Amino acid sequence: MQYTWIKDKNWKEIYDWDIISWTTFSWKPVTERVVYFETGFYMVPIDTDIENRWQVFARVSPLYTSKHMLVVDGNIYENPELLRQ
């Protein structure tokens, strides 16, 4: 797993393939996974087929440090059940 050099609101390091949750400006909870894709780290909805690069391009959000409300829920290797939400 590759370190993103970003930490969540609890100062836990965020890695590639981590499952993260955060709240939008309208207070809607969102759960996504972190992936490294071509030029950087991105947040991708859990149901995205990451093998299909065009689907990834259409659905990614850059992983910014300004998203200070990110929380690491786990990763797909230690917590595969998080992918079935």
Q: Which domains does the chain have, with CATH numbers?
A: 3-84 (2.30.30.290)
pLDDT tens profile 35-64: 887 777 888 887 777 676 666 666 566 676
Cα–Cα dist 83/10, whole Å: 22
Q: What's residue 46's pLDDT?
A: 79
* Three-point CA angle 48, 51, 56, nearest 5°: 45
Cα–Cα dist 68/55, whole Å: 26
Q: What's residue 39's pLDDT?
A: 75
Residue 7: closest CA among 74, 65, 78, 77: 65
pTM of the full structure: 0.74
Whether the predicted pLDDT of 84 surpasses 60: yes
